[in-house]
Amino acid sequence: MKAYLDLLRDVLENGTDKGDRTGTGTRSVFGRMVRYDLAEGFPLLTTKKLHIRSILHELLWFLNGETNIQYLKDNGVTIWDEWATPDGELGPVYGYQWRFWPDGDGGHIDQIAQLVDGLKNNPNSRRHIFHAWNVAQLPDESKKPWQNAAEGRMALPPCHLLYQFYVVNNKLSAMLYIRSNDLFLGNPYNTASLAFLTHMLAQQCGYEPGEIVISMADLHLYQNHLEQARIQLEREPRPLPKLLIHRKPDSIFDYKFEDFEIVDYDPHPHIPAPIAV
């Protein structure tokens, strides 16, 4: 994961200090790209321990199209708690847009089902895309996240917002565009989540996993994460783990947490850091 450490160093050394919505302040650069070959190992950060349960359960929650955090809470995942209404609602966030994009006629479009069909039956297409930037349902920035959710809008606008897939030589690769990326907390989760999804889609569609590419627009460290970033840069990366998927479910929507096993993950200790709300 040298590419990730290079990003940390880049932001620390070349970033500009800016204000932000949360009032915390960031150190920011604009327009960066990294890529990871999945044949070289599963891209799970080793310079600090990541909470795999949160990453994987969140992805499964997205794929179910859910907008309430109860599933996450039932599985010990708290990463969305700060933005939900008292009833646990988040409005039409990621999974809703992935699975139930409004079609304008009272119905919905399942972007994930369409993606799987296209990857299987028209692999050379350049339209293997799904995204979550539904302008009509973006939040009102003057309101609190839970207020937007209570009014039927997204609690937060999507950060990882556009995914595209590419098939060549029987390998499936993915590219993700992230408009705003919290480098210390968010980026390692985004990377691992994209890798999980690419492995799942490859298995479902009969391909080998290729590489993942992540394009980041506003890439930043929050001002209260700078010291944590420096700690990571003092640590030597360790060998990447491997991912085992123990069964092939009937569809992309039928995976369970127990289907996945990360083997030989030996990270440095967790580094605590506050989340900016």
Active site residues: 159
Interstrand relation of 160-168 and 171-182 (parallel, antiparallel or unpaired): antiparallel
Cβ–Cβ < 8 Å for 5, 47? yes
Per 3-state DSSP, the chain is made up of helix, strand and coil in percentages (nearest 5) of 35, 25, 40
Sign of the torsion formed by the C-alpha atoms of 29, 31, 37 and 43: positive
Contact (Cβ atoms closer than 8 angstroms) between residue 248 and residue 260 = no
Inter-CA distances, 145 with 57, 97, 220, 272, Å: 22, 17, 21, 24
Question: Which of 234, 238, 258 has the alpha carbon at shortest distance from 246?
Answer: 258
Q: Residue 239 and residue 63: Cα distance in Å, rounded?
A: 30
Burial (CB < 10 A; 0-12, 13-18, 19+), residue 268, is middle
Q: Partners of 89 in the beta sheet? A: 68
